[in-house]
Chain A
Amino acid sequence: MLELYVWGPAFGLPSIDAECLGTIAYFTETLDETEYQLIQSSPSAVPTHHLPALHDPARNTWTSGFSAITAHIQSRNAQQQYRYSKKVQADSTAYKAFLTDQATPLISLSLYVSSANWAATTRPAYSKILPFPLPWTEPTAIRAAMSARAADLKLSSLDTDAEAEKAEAAAKADPSWVHVPESIKKSMAQRRKNAVREKLTPEERSRIRLEGVTAEVLDVLVGALASKEEDEKEVYGKEEDSDELPEETTTLEFRCLAFGYLALMLLPEVPRPWLREIMEAKYPGLCDFAREFAGGRYGILGTGHSTERKLPWAEVKNTKSEGLSTTARQGHTLSGVLTRYVQGLVRIIPLVGEEGSRWWTQRRAGAVRTPTTTESQALVAMRKANKDLVWMTTGGLSLAGITAGLFYLYQGLLPFGAPVQTWRAPVSIGLTGLGAAGAMFAGVDDHLI
């Protein structure tokens, strides 16, 4: 039985991540429920460090990423492979690349960069699907990564937290030496608030830019998904339900992936739903596609639809669950979760954490088998990683030692020319300490001893 590791359900969808969503859709389309299990996870729990990840216990191999997994499934069921013409295959390859390349930034803007949406929708969703201490480390990391994906669009103004921080830093760095007290500043700002601009949310302010960015992506997808209207009458569809299906001008993989991305654009209930508004206003075809895929025909969505399918979620927390390999449980036990949490913390340590976590992930990834590597290669990678561990520990320890030494050396330095100097009278013990009287008896103690 195959094990598919995915991000957990959110927004009424089976997964919070577009690629995972696409993979789940693909699995429900091609495989029987008894052939696979879905395991709610996060990247830090799987050795490939990327979700979706597929573990094939029969061959003990790991595959990760949407297209790698679909290719793996196709190689298992070879008869499904040649259903499409070359043109459809070539186009779909291109459109899939387009989705990962261009649609991710859009989702990232809507769900991650926008502070309001992040705080009200996305972060709570992550908190729900991650086991306890992990919501402290992982969602922020994901947000940082997703924001980096959207950085090219130059719409970071949606992130009001970062904007406020930036303004604060700018105010601090302001070299002017006329210091305006905070109270006056505030009243000035209040007066300025009357301007229309101040009343708009960042999303409304950059609405035109957002519409442009959205159109650039969705226009292409409309072309891809609506190409059935062109009179290409060749049918490559499946036999059983080709009467109601439009002519297959795209591959199933592409449609599943497109569903993953479009559903995340359309369905989450966010406080600033600019993306959904744009889609509903201008791209009704795409909305229909996503809704139909989710609710009607495929019944993935938990809408209580009659055709709704039950997804084979595995109960990971139940350690006695059958059919799960040990790797599946490894990352989800209490100790596993704690290890993941500590790793998340280690990453935040400046300088050292970066390299440390890089090394750690590579060590884990090197030790697993992918379909093309052999056991011996994995073993070699493991040994190399172990050697690295020795080097890293020695290096780290000596670095820490040197730093501590330098610190104490610095602390031990005399504060030259300290402003207060104290003189103390020499304290002498014995009879001489008693002054003249003592001197009188000075000879006595010699005799006493």
Chain B
Amino acid sequence: MSTKSVRSWMPPIPRPLERLFNSVPLLTYDANELPARAQSSTASDIPTLYVFSTEEDARKGLPSFNPKCLKWQTFLKLSKIPFNIIPSTNHASPTSQLPFLLPARKPSPTASKPPGGIEPIPSSKLEDWVLSQKQKDQASPEKQDEKFHPRQEAYQSLLDVPLRNSWLYTLYLDPTNSNLVEKLYIHPSSSSLWIRATLRHQLRRAAESAILTTTHSVSSGGPLKGFAHGVVHPDEIYRSAKEALEALAYELSIDNRGAEGNTGWFFGATEPGLFDAEVFAYVYLMVRFFSRPESAEGEKESGEEETKLWLGDLVRQAGNGELVGHMNRILELTWPDLVVRDA
């Protein structure tokens, strides 16, 4: 018998247990088809974007609290494509990443045709989809002058590394913001104490390893692979975030177009693009969640308070407030009610 050939240090399995295992064959069933009503409740006549959001915000179409989701939400709004918002989680996404978009149901004459013809679009392909929609709408498909901008590529890295890391650190790893994480991500997911604790742990670890892999050339996270551990240095994260925000603010303030002057958008574009949407997503969320509370400012000016850095303040202080101006310009185009008016 096979058990005899393998000499193992493990004691033999007791017979009753072995019989039990033998009588339970491993068999994986195919996934069930979605019930027909699922299609009608998810697909609609206009596209649906699945994002991190609360039920109420989603109904009103308010901004998502996740930078990546907000980026695409803003981009779709700027592209003037009507869409619905449904609050969701990573587990619902086919690529296990939010956001993803479910295109509009096709008005097909064969209503009896079984549903399932609509493929969800992951965020990596959303830009192409938006461009194709735009070209469909306009009779004359104007080709976007997709010129290669080395500077734009470089500035993109500013968003991907320092700004993203500062966001991840502040939200997930800074213990003073743990209430916010609970409220935004953990409580809506589950009511079970155990699941919440696991989720909290996973989120923190994921954020930590994301920061470490981008800042350190040598370190990694993840089970079994995590040989070399690094340490997250908050000073360094905030310092590079400040530097990045200064650079972005400066890029906004100069006029790249020469004769036409400053357009108010990045890289002298005539209308806001994807890069603007992404900057807006970070800037808006930092100002919204991590601004110094008004009341505390007057009362507590003790040394303890001073050491805490507020990302929202970094945004306001960068350059001459160009980033807040940029944020408000985008808000006026997308959510005019939310424009921040402060000194």
Binding site for B on A (CB under 8 A): 17-19, 43, 48-51, 64-65, 67-68, 71, 86-87, 89-91, 93-95, 97-98, 100-102, 104, 138, 140-142, 144-146, 148-149, 219-224, 344, 347-348, 350, 354, 357-358, 361-362, 365, 370-373, 410-411, 413-418
Contact = CB atoms under 8 A, between A and B. Distances in A.
A65 B215 contact: yes
Contacts, number: 163
Given A93-B158, A93-B246, A219-B148, A149 B217 contact: yes
B204 to A, nearest CB: 11
Given A43-B228, A65-B236, A416-B15, A95 B217 contact: no
Contacts of B225: 144-145, 148
Question: Which of A51, A140, A220, A415 has the most chain B CB atoms closer than 10 A to its own CB?
Answer: A220
B216 interface: yes
A91 B154 contact: yes
Question: Which of B12, B14, B230 has the most chain A CB atoms closer than 10 A to its own CB?
Answer: B230
Contacts of A49: 219, 229-231
Interface stretch (B115-123, B130-138, B237-245, B278-286): B237-245
A372 B239 CA distance: 11
B150 A348 contact: no
Contacts of A415: 11-12, 14-15
A290 to B, nearest CB: 18
B214 A101 contact: yes
Contacts of B158: 93-94, 97
Chain B's interface: helix, strand, loop or mixed, by majority? helix
A400 B13 CA distance: 22
A89 B215 contact: no
Give the interface size class of chain B.
35 or more
B335 interface: no
Chain A's interface: helix, strand, loop or mixed, by majority? helix
B251 interface: yes
A50 B161 contact: no
Contacts of B222: 148
A223 B214 contact: no
B155 interface: yes
A50 B228 CA distance: 10
Contact of A361 (B148, B162, B229): B229
Contact of A145 (B154, B161, B224, B227): B227
B250 A86 contact: yes
A86 B253 CA distance: 11
Interface string B251-274: 100100000000000000000000
Contact of B217 (A18, A102, A344, A414): A18
